[in-house]
Amino acid sequence: MLTRWFAALALVFLFMLPVSALRAQESVDCQSRNYSYTRCDVEWRDARIVRQISDTRCIRGQNWGIDRRGLWVDRGCGGTFVRAGRGDYGGGGGGGGPWRPGPGWDNRFSVSCNSEDYRYTFCSVDVGGRGRAYMERQTSNTACVEGRTWGWNRAGIWVNQGCAGIFTIDRRW
């Protein structure tokens, strides 16, 4: 009898919640403060931005994205993001799920990234959570200065103002 009473009370409480509260689990505000890389824990496989809350334009793959560890924003992007697609990674704590890296995942490798016509270019490569990118060799006549004309985040390497080079990705999972 007591169990039915608690079930009925829970059902009444559920119907009293506004619809937006029920959907709150399906959206998150995520913002890069001081142009820093920020991770927002979600267990989504995909996301889309529904409202920009920063002055900086948010561009997927350049200053925001989603990976197996959650949603990330960088370089001033901020917005309200919602789940896109179906399913989640499960497992709690920001993802992980059943995905396991294949052979050679921890190895170092090199990629080329070039700023064509002195424009900003983003070269997508999964640097990883504890990974790092290094300039192996500059291939441009224009100076490449980390933080000024080139940089990196979890999702890849960016170059600007004519910087071009070969970059080493060192993944440490």
Is residue 93 very low, low, confident or very high in pLDDT (cuts 50, 70, 90)?
Answer: very low
Check pLDDT > 90 for residue 79. Answer: yes
Measured CA to CA in angstroms, residue 71 lies from 14, 38, 39, 150 at distances of: 28, 9, 6, 22
pTM over 0.75: no
Distance CA 68, CA 99 (A): 8
Strand arrangement of the beta sheet that strand 132-138 belongs to = 108-114, 164-170, 132-138
Stretch 41-58: mean pLDDT: 87
Closest by Cα among 101, 118, 114 to 166: 114
Backbone angles phi, psi at 122, to 5 degrees: -110, 125
pLDDT tens, residue by residue, 116-159: 899 999 988 877 767 788 898 999 999 999 999 999 888 889 99
pLDDT of residue 22: 38
pLDDT of residue 10: 55
